[in-house]
Structure 1
Amino acid sequence: MLFFINSTFNQKNSGIEHAQLKRAALFRKNNEAFKLVFREWNPNIHRFLGEVGISNSETLCMFDYFQKAELVEEKILHVEDLDFGVDSLTYNKEPNQFRYLVFQGQQLIARVRYFGEDPLERVSAVEYFDGFGNLYRVDFYDFRGFLSLCQWYTPDNKIGTEVWMDINGKPVLETFNKYDGNHKYTKSGWRLNGADGAIYNFTNIDELTLHFLNLLNEEYWQDDKANIFIMDRTHLADWALLNLDRPAYTVLHLHNSHAGDAQEPMHSVMNNFYEFGLMNSNGYDAIVSATEKQTLDVSKRFNPQSKLFTIPVGVVPNEVFSEKRIDMKERRVHSVLVTARVAPEKRIDHIIRAIGIARQTVPDITLDFYGYVDHRDDDSAQKAINAAIKEYHMEEAVHQFEYANNVGELQKDFQVYALASIMEGFNLSLMEAISHGMVGVTYDVNYGPNELIVDGENGFVVPYEGIQEMADRLVELFTQEDKLQKMSTQSYELARRYSEENVWKAWQALIDDANKKNIDYRSPITEGIGDQRIYSTKKSK
């Protein structure tokens, strides 16, 4: 079995989750079984995965696994269905807060929240109050309709103990919070009531994760070939996969630059998400990069003994290649598109400045960008965008939109895709853009954009942080229609590098290597041991 390890899945996701979806479709099409493994608790995860075509049989959540809630018949639970142990209740709805206030007379019994975007108003959480109005417990419900997590509060209004239940309401997993020696409030441990009847104690979630992965490796064990564990978010399992009880084929997957400064891949400090994994990379069987350039840089810098594979994280479905090609003259004239998080590292403000300069020659250039706002650093990314718009008086030329799910359709309507990131690991949006005939203009940034765009063929690769050079190329494209069309045609052709056939060949090479791994394993002694405590007691008598 192939296990792809991630943290969680939401309605709005990053490139890693989108890459997993494309990979899932490819593996499904080639009849290769897989599981998307998620470590974090998320009461909405099955709902969100179902909306994008991932079945429960392809999903394995760590908390579900321990709660025996992998396959649950959905139940719709309303506020009136809850039993508070008292009669004569009134329910006051606060629609703007997506909740009900539950009273007995003048006494507040509970606040009941429901899933705000759900027209059926399924219960999502219940906050309980004592006779003095103090919050003492919060119950969280899975979207599928069962109590999943109880948080018990301390007298000073902090979460003391968290308890996860199975679908019958029996506690199976607990974690404890308290002050440490430095008076920092932190988790002090985890306790699991195992399916085997044993009680397990873990210092931290990494030890719990190791136990979980050991159980998976044992449950899906085959004597003739290894299970394959691939870390899509490395920090979630980098230590655990080095300490498995049974052999497995383990893979460190680089979804971003391995270097903190992507422009100095050989000498800069390491990306902190990959530091532990790369320092211990000889303990894994393979390292996957999305581009040939990164594979080469990893090989030169670290000289790992692990096998190195280049596997694009993007896949262009076969049906895209059979779609009607859309000429540049049929698209919005002089239009630029960006689909990305509004985050400091994406530097959308650089693109706006480049367009502002280019508009001095081609005054009708417009930019539309789609993506959710990352509020880090006091909304620094959004503030930089607003400042650039104001500086170049582009209030009517720049249009900002929320996260979009119909990216493919959008790309068919625009001419140029622009990118000015600090670093990348591939950039799915740019790959999708060229597959729909868009012409790319990108900084020469590692990794991905400077391979997806072949300079002078399907767009331009301009110097890193070259705002003026980006502006010059935009002017060149929008004043030379023949060149713009020629590059669009070449984009369609170069997208074939990421066809299902080519990407599957790359994955097949890794799977073939995994199937060759020697997995000789000797189980611990389990027979003839008995209960030594009983034996010792009898003998002493």
Structure 2
Amino acid sequence: MNTNVNEAGEKMYYFLNNKIDLNSSGIEHAEIKRLKLFQEFNVNAKIVTFGYDRFAHRNIKSYGLTDDDYINMYDYFAGTIKFKSRVMTIDQLPLPKFAKKVRTGNGYEIYDESRKTMIINLLTNSRQLDTVEYLNGDGDCTKKDLYDFRGFLSVTQFYGTNSKLMEVEQFHKPDGTIYCETSCAKRPDFLAVTNIQLTDVDGTLYSLMNLGQAFTIMLDHLNKADTTSGEKSTFISDRSNITNLPMLNMKTKARKIEHFHNIHFRDYWDPMNSPLTYPSIANTDQLRKTSIVVVPTEKQAKDMRERLQTRVPIVAIPVGIVPKSQLQAPHISMKQRTNGKIIAVARLDYQKRLDDAINVFTKVYQKNSNLTFDIYGYGNDGDNGKEEKKLRELVKTLNMENVIKFKGYVQDVNKVYDDAQLMILSSRYEGAPLCIVEAQSHGVPVISYDINYGPSDLIQDNKSGFLVPDGNTKLLEQKIEQFFGDKKLRENLSQGAYENAKRFSPEGVWQYWDKFVINQNKIIK
């Protein structure tokens, strides 16, 4: 049994997710803020992830996390939750003595006389191995080794000679032992995992149909290890479509909480009649296994209670948390900021309706050429960058490329907020956008459409920003003009934003977790 996770046998709170990327979304940022909140109040908690990521332990450090804060499923079965980094270079590969090495921009090409047999890639500005590709006589890759950035062979992928698609994937422990092998087959629109051979930490060999079953096995192990005085640990699923079913399928008794970060129905304008988007609440048997449902706002909690008519408690807990250091930071006046600087912090996604913001800003700019608009966020891989391309084309068509700038993803947006005078949120729907709380904590007023859900709970209308009826571009335009036409209003709303952010202090948010989750630990099983 793996005993390096929680040797003290203490009760834990596990936050379940898919991955922690360098450019994580609001869900991951909210989860990390929650982890630090639990730590501040001396409650044991860890983030547990489902997806394979050989750079995960590098990524978490960029958020101020350590290996003690994080458990990944593949790390768990490989025994590498805590693995001391080492340097693994090309010199450690068992290359033939007669092989010719040719240095390339980021690695080497290996030749057997004139035939290229291998391509070796190194991590950027490093001697550390990244990937090794093995080529057949036709120059096609038939095998690929992927190295964990900590310095060990992590995965070997095998590709079909004719299909050139990955057919088998083997996962290695640092000593070379294969602990997991997945078989894949081509489907019309994707590559499907058809079978998984998993060797558990206790040596048990499983034949599984999907990786969710492997995740369930690991969660049960974590729960068994944490049992103390008859009490079980708590699992909180933050990615409903990925981690919720594996959590509900656990065989050991535990508290199972589903945390929604977005709306729970398909048609964003119709919460009472639109089809539910998550099986975990649409399926009565799944919902019955859930101990608590957590949503970000009371309005969503009310709608969900009315819609589901369930005995499962549905509670609202804010996701935005403002650290004490920010609450105590000196206030930055409007005159200290870049004059006319407007920002949006949002993914370049259909949901965010940034075309509205761009069109409205363009109209306001015709009357006030001192304004600029910076958009911070990355494109959506799910639509192959279609929305991003559309937005960039719109800006080009409007001839606003010198005024409207796409700034991409920025990990630390504190400087961005400190320099901005106003933020616009034009989304079609939300759960509770973190950017509103973050902006207000830096004294940036927010003008937002009044949508489901979040803005009306987070913004104090006419005090810390403005709420505009959903889709009312004319009024949105008028509010921006009003804001920049009145110096006193700008300062008042900025101070109102600073004041409103106090509601989301660690103590303010912790009282919700304490009331609905921590102190309910012995009541809800």
Same fold, TM-score > 0.5, yes or no:
yes
Q: How far did 1:82 drift?
A: 1.5
| Distance in 2, Cα, partners of 1:60 & 1:201 | 23
| 1:31 alignment partner, one of 42, 46, 64 | 42
| Distance in 1, Cα, partners of 2:337 & 2:395 | 24
| Distance in 2, Cα, partners of 1:143 & 1:384 | 36
* 8 Å contact kept, 1:285–1:307: yes
Change (3 A) 1:179 1:428: closer
* 8 Å contact kept, 1:441–1:470: yes
| 1:44 alignment partner, one of 50, 55, 62 | 55
Where 1:103 maps in the other structure, the secondary structure is strand
| 1:88 alignment partner, one of 90, 98, 102 | 98
| 1:485 alignment partner, one of 491, 503, 520 | 491
Does the alignment pair 1:7 with 2:18? yes
| Distance in 1, Cα, partners of 2:484 & 2:296 | 31
| Distance in 2, Cα, partners of 1:183 & 1:483 | 53
| 2:168 alignment partner, one of 161, 164, 167 | 161
Equivalent position amino acid for 1:75 in 2: R
Where 1:17 maps in the other structure, the secondary structure is helix
Change (3 A) 1:336 1:6: same
Q: Following superposition of structure 1 onto structure 2, how do residues 193-204 of structure 1 map, counting pairs within 5 Å?
A: 193-204=199-210
| Distance in 2, Cα, partners of 1:142 & 1:276 | 39
Where 2:74 maps in the other structure, the secondary structure is helix
Q: Following superposition of structure 1 onto structure 2, how do residues 369-388 of structure 1 map, counting pairs within 5 Å?
A: 369-377=375-383, 379-388=385-394
* 8 Å contact kept, 1:249–1:514: no
| Distance in 2, Cα, partners of 1:395 & 1:152 | 45
Equivalent position amino acid for 2:237 in 1: M
The two structures, once aligned, show a CA RMSD in angstroms of: 2.1
Q: How far did 1:513 drift?
A: 4.3
Q: Following superposition of structure 1 onto structure 2, how do residues 220-369 of structure 1 map, counting pairs within 5 Å?
A: 220-272=226-278, 280-369=286-375
* 8 Å contact kept, 1:257–1:423: yes
Deviations 1:281-335 (CA, angstroms, capped at 9, x unpaired): 2320001011111111111111221122211111000111111111112212222
Structure 2, gaps ≥5 residues long: 1-11
Percent of aligned positions that are identical: 28
Does the alignment pair 1:172 with 2:179? yes
| Distance in 2, Cα, partners of 1:444 & 1:121 | 52
Q: How far did 1:277 drift?
A: 6.6
* 8 Å contact kept, 1:91–1:101: yes
Where 2:363 maps in the other structure, the secondary structure is helix
| Distance in 1, Cα, partners of 2:381 & 2:68 | 35
Does the alignment pair 1:474 with 2:483? no
Does the alignment pair 1:186 with 2:197? no
Question: Which has the larger displacement, 245-254 or 210-219?
Answer: 210-219
Change (3 A) 1:169 1:378: closer
Structure with the greater alpha carbon radius of gyration: 1
| 1:136 alignment partner, one of 133, 142, 153 | 142
Give the structure 2 partner of residue 17 of structure 1: 28
Q: How far did 1:222 drift?
A: 2.1
Change (3 A) 1:465 1:89: same
Where 1:421 maps in the other structure, the secondary structure is coil
* 8 Å contact kept, 1:334–1:365: yes
Q: Segments of 4+ in structure 1 off by > 4 A?
A: 182-185, 272-279
| 2:153 alignment partner, one of 147, 155, 164 | 147
Change (3 A) 1:278 1:35: farther
| Distance in 2, Cα, partners of 1:73 & 1:414 | 42
* 8 Å contact kept, 2:280–2:286: no
Equivalent position amino acid for 1:91 in 2: K
* 8 Å contact kept, 2:255–2:524: no
| Distance in 1, Cα, partners of 2:161 & 2:365 | 61
| Distance in 2, Cα, partners of 1:378 & 1:312 | 32
Equivalent position amino acid for 2:117 in 1: I
Change (3 A) 1:405 1:183: closer
Q: How far did 1:485 drift?
A: 1.1
Change (3 A) 1:322 1:109: same
Q: How far did 1:427 drift?
A: 0.8
Structure 1, gaps ≥5 residues long: 520-541
Give the structure 2 partner of residue 412 of structure 1: 418
Give the structure 2 partner of residue 526 of structure 1: none
Q: How far did 1:274 drift?
A: 5.8
Equivalent position amino acid for 2:14 in 1: F
Q: How far did 1:472 drift?
A: 0.5
Give the structure 1 partner of residue 77 of structure 2: 66
Where 1:280 maps in the other structure, the secondary structure is helix
Equivalent position amino acid for 1:92 in 2: V
Change (3 A) 1:273 1:142: farther
Does the alignment pair 1:113 with 2:124? no
Q: Following superposition of structure 1 onto structure 2, how do residues 206-221 of structure 1 map, counting pairs within 5 Å?
A: 206-221=212-227
Change (3 A) 1:49 1:184: closer
State the aligned residue count. 513
Q: How far did 1:360 drift?
A: 3.1
Q: How far did 1:391 drift?
A: 4.6
Normalising by structure 1, report the TM-score.
0.90
Equivalent position amino acid for 1:36 in 2: I
Change (3 A) 1:34 1:259: same
Q: How far did 1:168 drift?
A: 0.5
| Distance in 2, Cα, partners of 1:197 & 1:22 | 36
| Distance in 1, Cα, partners of 2:520 & 2:408 | 41
Q: How far did 1:218 drift?
A: 1.1
Deviations 1:491-538 (CA, angstroms, capped at 9, x unpaired): 11111111100111111123334421476xxxxxxxxxxxxxxxxxxx
| Distance in 2, Cα, partners of 1:185 & 1:318 | 46
Q: How far did 1:217 drift?
A: 1.3
Q: How far did 1:267 drift?
A: 1.4
Where 1:393 maps in the other structure, the secondary structure is coil
Where 2:419 maps in the other structure, the secondary structure is coil
Question: Which has the larger displacement, 267-276 or 443-452?
Answer: 267-276
Change (3 A) 1:185 1:409: closer
Change (3 A) 1:100 1:493: same
Where 1:139 maps in the other structure, the secondary structure is strand
Q: How far did 1:272 drift?
A: 4.5
Deviations 1:410-439 (CA, angstroms, capped at 9, x unpaired): 111111100111111111111100111111
Equivalent position amino acid for 1:325 in 2: H
Q: How far did 1:361 drift?
A: 2.8
Equivalent position amino acid for 1:93 in 2: R
* 8 Å contact kept, 1:420–1:442: yes
Q: How far did 1:47 drift?
A: 0.8
Where 2:146 maps in the other structure, the secondary structure is strand
| Distance in 2, Cα, partners of 1:23 & 1:184 | 34
Q: How far did 1:139 drift?
A: 0.9
Question: Which has the larger displacement, 122-131 or 268-277?
Answer: 268-277
